[in-house]
Copies of this chain bind each other. A is one copy, B any other.
């Protein structure tokens, strides 16, 4: 199988990640739950992971890196934990349901008012729209670093400056960029960063986290055993335990630590560049096919040969007249190529792109893919497009 569904989860995982998980399953106890050697080994490992992750994301407080099951849990922690009655929040039409649905819940409960910035037909948000949406009661901007549908990357330097200028919080969903596109909480003025471990970082599933800036107040999503202050009736307001009730996934975090080290060893940007290079190669091979529609802003890939970080390694397209689900099935059945069709859990994005009925076929690459796989995928698209064109002839 040629696996091109890496925006859903990267696969396979690097050997060093698998080895780290295996090792943890034989020797890691329960982190921060006791002072025996197994528990201490787990605690040390978790703390090293906090440090590596803080470093990767340009954040100076490893003690405020809190682990979660996935990016969705991190985003729910942020969205359910930050706002109070009367707050205004800004988001965008390109968001994943992991942002839209928690915000909708707060709207339903009459807690927040919400502005959803529109996207154009290429899935782009206008920075001017964004700035003019800010009101005196705006508490935060919650938005993705990159779209899981189009691969467009948001310019967080610009947005961070605007948020800082207006004194509003910037909450970022980095599910599609962590490990691929450089992120700096400090330079981008990000207040809360939510990430997943199993996509671009190439760590195990069951890992992710939330990084909470020093002056940001947030309520925990869950309460329970903290390993500290056990006699407090309420969750102790001490980071990182505050947001980490219950036993951590130390086995997964061990793999995540190995994954992040692997990325840093390769040069922080090398893995992302490789992924984007492969996606761009694919795009260059299929862009001339007449009856294909692409979704997203490919301007930078058209313009220059340099590997810029304004797109992730995603190419989403439709073959004219074909349902995306049928194309994805043909790719799988006839060519052994795994992609993802349908709505990608981003309903408003598909409304903006005009693909609610058809869905779209997403090809998403990782640094583990090869040029040979790129060539075979492009050839398969070529064949399917030709067949579709022949079928539609009178």
User: Taking beta carbons and an 8 Å cutoff, which residues of A are in contact with B?
Assistant: 1, 3, 5, 8-9, 11-13, 17-18, 21-22, 25-30, 33-39, 68-73, 75-76, 96-102, 104-105, 108, 196, 198, 204-207, 221-227, 230-235, 245-252, 255, 325, 328-329, 332, 338-347, 356
Contacts and interface: CB of A to CB of B under 8 A. Distances in A.
A212 B87 CA distance: 34
11 contacts: A3-B29, A5-B39, A11-B27, A34-B339, A35-B328, A35-B341, A69-B206, A98-B245, A102-B223, A104-B234, A252-B252
Contacts of A223: 76, 97-98, 101-102, 104-105
Nearest to A336: B37
Contacts of A102: 222-224
Contact of A233 (B33, B101, B345, B346): B101
Main secondary structure of the interface of A (DSSP, over half): loop
Contacts of A36: 1, 3, 5, 328, 332, 338-340
Contacts of A204: 25, 249, 251-252
Contact of A70 (B34, B96, B247): B247
A325 B328 CA distance: 59
Top 9 A-B residue pairs of the complex, sorted by shortest distance between their CB atoms: A72-B246, A206-B249, A36-B338, A98-B224, A225-B345, A72-B224, A101-B223, A206-B206, A8-B30
